[in-house]
Structures are given as structure tokens and as C-alpha cells.
Homo-oligomer: A and B are copies of this chain.
Amino acid sequence: MDGREPKEMILILRKIGCDVITQTLDVSDYILSENLAVERKKGGDFSGSLVDNRLFEQLERLKDTFKSCILIIEDFEKMFERPKMKVSSLYGAMNSIAIRLKIPIIPTRNLQDTAICLKRLAIREQINQEGHALARHAPKEMSLEERKCFILEGLFDTGPKIARILVDKFKTPYNLFKAIEKSELTYTKNGNPKGINGPLDTVKGIGFKWLEKNKKLFS
């Protein structure tokens, strides 16, 4: 973090388990990795630096220096205390930062919150590097039947209705997979989609497209 940031911030960050080193930074307030920097601005300063045009100058330099950066607006309601400043100018500025400069804005209530936010950002950037795994979260207290449906709802074009029909007919997911493997797509002489041949051909709700898509899961 930049040495000119509040001394209290070091203490708070260390207290919540962050490793911090201070150093004079030219363009940002916090550097979380080679690629990610954070600019912290108090609400009051935001309107201040907007009037003398320092704000956008600063942010554009930030953007040129780091691959990605974030603007934290601390105590954001303070931004409106400057009486002469039009409210629409402030929102216009925020819109412009978010849309034109593409710099994400995170509002916080105070220094303490900013520290918490910085910690989360650091964890995301430095530790969680894992490619985002799509968490699927099952409603609790699921019966065996419900669990079977839940698995089948993972298939292409399969919601609760179709899943129920399939479990009723095939009893287990494994049986269904066997049925999908055995079922064949049929085509007309001209090569156009015709229908299904096999265990799945009589199932309501299952058609050519469904089978075509879900057969992909076997390759």
C-alpha cells in the first residue's frame, strides 16, 4: 500500500490477517498483484477532484498502468455534501467511470469496510486463482427420488418435468444413460431429422433435438 494512506489502515489490514508492506506508490493506493491495483477515494475527495479535473486524469493513468483496476469510494454519501455540486454531475461522473473507463466501482461505508473489501479482493486475486467452478447447490433434505431427478436436471434441455418423467420410466440415472446410448437418431432419405429409434422413442417430452444434444455427453 501507498505510504501516504492512513496509518490506521495498516493496523486494520494486519489485524484481519493481511501481509502488508508500505511504499511510496506513484499511481495507485494499493497493489494487489502485478495486474490489479486499487484506488481508494473518500466520498468528499471524489467531488473535490472532480471539479479540478484531477479525477479522470488520475484514473486514466491508473488504467494505463495496470491491466485491471478498481475504484473504491469510501463513505460514498459524503460525496453529496459539497453544496454547489450538482447531483447529476456526480452520477454522470460515476457512469462515465464505470462505462467509458470500464473501471469497477465499489462503495464502502468507512475505512474498516474498505479494509475488508481489500482483503476479499486480495484473496480472489492471490489465492482463489481457480478457474471458476460452477457451484450447484441442492435443496436440503432431498429424498433418493429427488436426488435422481436432480442429477438428471443437469442434462441438456432437462428441467424438473422431464427429469421426473425419466426417473419414473427408467428408475435410475444409470438406466437412462444406457437407454440414451442404445437409442439411435433416424434421418429421412434426404438426411433430414426424422425421429428416434430405441428405448427413448416413446417417451413424452423427448425428441430428436434432445437426444442429439445429450448424446454429446458420451464423447
Q: Tell me the A residues contacting B by CB distance below 8 Å.
A: 53, 68, 70, 73, 76-77, 80, 87-88, 91-92, 94-96, 98-100, 102, 104-109, 113, 116-117, 119-121, 124, 130, 132-138, 142, 144, 146-156, 159-161, 164, 172-174, 177-178, 180-181, 216-219
Contacts and interface: CB of A to CB of B under 8 A. Distances in A.
A109 B95 contact: no
B98 A106 contact: yes
- Copies held by the complex: 2
A148 B154 CA distance: 8
13 contacts: A73-B107, A94-B106, A95-B120, A100-B132, A134-B160, A135-B153, A135-B159, A136-B153, A147-B154, A151-B151, A152-B154, A173-B177, A177-B177
A54 B99 CA distance: 25
A205 to B, nearest CB: 14
A105 B70 CA distance: 12
